[in-house]
A and B are shown apart, each in its own frame.
Chain A
Amino acid sequence: MQTGKQSAADPGRHSIRVFLVDDQAMIGEAVRRMLAPETDITFSYCADPSAAVKQASEFAPTVILQDLVMPDIDGLTLVKFYRANPATRDVPLIVLSTKEEPATKAEAFARGAHDYLVKLPDRVELVARIRHHSRGYINLLQRNEAYQALVASQQALAAELAEAAAYVQSLLPPPLSAGPVQTAWRFIPSAQLGGDAFGYHWLDDDHLSMYLLDVCGHGVGAALLSISAMNVLRSQALPNTDFHDPAQTLSALNEAFLMEKHNNMYFTIWYGVYDRIAGSVKYSSAGHPPALLLAPPAGAPAVAELRTRGMVLGGMPGASYTSAVCQVPPGSSIFLMSDGVYEITLADGSMWSYAEFAQCLTAAAAAGRPEIVELERRVHELHGPGVLEDDFSIVKFAFP
């Protein structure tokens, strides 16, 4: 929609602009004289109805005064053209006519006129009606402008979020398809940016660190904290900390990420270190769901939940963590996940449980089906269409 011209005296404010269409020049002059004392009103006169729509589009009026009876084109037909033209569609229209019949007035309103004046009204009345209708139209313009600005900023924000989401995705490690440990993973943030993060990297030739963390909440704030924590782990940027020691790592991480210093956000984490020589995983967890170990035989895997007692990370200063060790015989798999993979609200309002999730994964493994694919299919089956309420993260570590 074309906006009304802004007043030069007060940039940013719409001013009142009156557009008169009347084939009689004396009417044009009479209205011009009536409006002359109103210094904040700009007036334009069009004597040729065939040029009215074009000139009105260019002039951008806040109100149109339209003569009803004109040669060649009648005023009510012009009303239709104004309404069909995007630049004038919503401009209030006051019909000016010598006719006083109620039927004529009714037809004018039915065709889209906002007001009807019998020529020529008193100056005070004309100015009052012009100001009244212009005020309504200017309010509409300002509302539309505010909405367009909102849409533009939302689009800019969406573009920035998409870029941030792409950055987060780029930080996630590529699946390992060969070597002493092979990995697969699935990450579905519930909002464009999630609070889950995970990673794995070789600390040295024989030790692979493996971790998955879940910041409370999701969205931009949670994502920023999750990336911050993940980068500390990736770069091993905690002083006096042996990253081969899970309990020590979590203790140091806890002090570095106390929630009072991070906008009252805490996170849960499972952190483990695979020892290639010993064939074992040493691990520690902080308020995080247990990792799942599936050990041979393949057709009937032995299942163990791996977690240690420990407060959510950042929750309390001086919180202590412990490590535990488990053997991972060849053919074993360990799954790390966030609670978003099993805290699924079912149709009856109840919630899927960790036990049911573990059963789903184990059954897929026993049948030789890809576990994560099977899990995701089951979750979507249970949840139904729509975005999941929480971030969905699961990583499989296979030890051939």
Chain B
Amino acid sequence: MQISSTKRDDTTIVNIDGRLDSGTAAAAEKQLLDLVAGGAHRLVLNCAGLEYVSSAGLRVLLALAKRVGGVQGRLALAAPAAQVREIFDIAGFADILPVFATVEAAL
């Protein structure tokens, strides 16, 4: 699993590639929360390269959503593949996080 980020105006686009599961969740959580701690309060997670999210991965996204909420920031999910989109839907994440078809739409 790889995480990289770029800045577009005041929004940080975070690319998550690979699997977000129990093997990668701890490292991913640290990287993402470090971004927020470093001042990135408006985030778009580009999920185009995200192959799978387990319950451990969902926990990371929940933790990120709460941290961003705590700094009155904004977090959106973009471009998830169909299977990942289904995981987000079943987990009820659409209730707390907007999900967009593309990164551009999420900005």
Contacts and interface: CB of A to CB of B under 8 A. Distances in A.
A216 B63 contact: no
Nearest to B66: A316
Contacts of A265: 59
B92 interface: yes
B52 A216 contact: no
Given A214-B55, A216-B55, A217-B55, A309 B62 contact: no
A315 B22 CA distance: 18
A214 B22 CA distance: 15
Contacts of A315: 62, 92, 96
Contact of B95 (A259, A307, A311): A311
Nearest to A320: B95
A61 interface: no
Interface string A148-185: 00000000000000000000000000000000000000
Given A264-B63, A266-B62, A311 B92 contact: yes
A339 B57 CA distance: 14
Nearest to A289: B90
A316 B96 contact: yes
B83 interface: yes
A307 to B, nearest CB: 7
B33 interface: no
A290 B92 CA distance: 12
Contact of A309 (B22, B56, B58, B95): B95
Interface string B74-107: 0000000001001000111111100000000000
A312 B58 contact: yes
Given A287-B91, A287-B92, A354-B86, A217 B63 contact: no
Contact of B56 (A216, A343, A351): A216
B90 A287 contact: yes
A311 B58 contact: no
Interface residues of B, number: 18
Contacts of A311: 91-93, 95-96
A62 interface: no
A265 B63 CA distance: 11
A111 to B, nearest CB: 50
Interface string A338-359: 0100010000000101100000
B59 A288 contact: no
B55 A286 contact: no
B96 A312 contact: no
Given A311-B96, A351-B52, A351-B83, A216 B59 contact: yes
Given A259-B59, A315-B92, A319-B95, 9 more contacts: A259-B62, A264-B63, A287-B91, A289-B90, A311-B91, A311-B92, A312-B62, A312-B91, A354-B86
Nearest to A313: B92
B52 A288 contact: no
A272 interface: no
A316 B91 CA distance: 12
A309 B90 CA distance: 8
A312 to B, nearest CB: 5
B87 to A, nearest CB: 9
Interface in A216-252: 216-217
Nearest to B91: A287
Contacts of B90: 268, 287-290, 307
- Closest 8 A/B residue pairs (Cβ): A216-B55, A311-B92, A287-B91, A287-B92, A310-B92, A311-B95, A312-B91, A216-B59
Contacts of B58: 216, 312
28 contacts: A214-B55, A216-B58, A217-B22, A217-B56, A259-B59, A264-B59, A265-B59, A266-B55, A268-B55, A268-B91, A286-B92, A287-B90, A287-B91, A287-B92, A288-B90, A289-B90, A309-B95, A310-B95, A311-B93, A311-B96, A315-B92, A316-B96, A319-B92, A319-B95, A339-B55, A353-B83, A354-B86, A390-B54
Nearest to A355: B86
Interface in A71-105: none
Interface in A275-310: 286-290, 307, 309-310
A316 B55 CA distance: 15
Nearest to B59: A216
Given A216-B58, A315-B62, A309 B83 contact: no
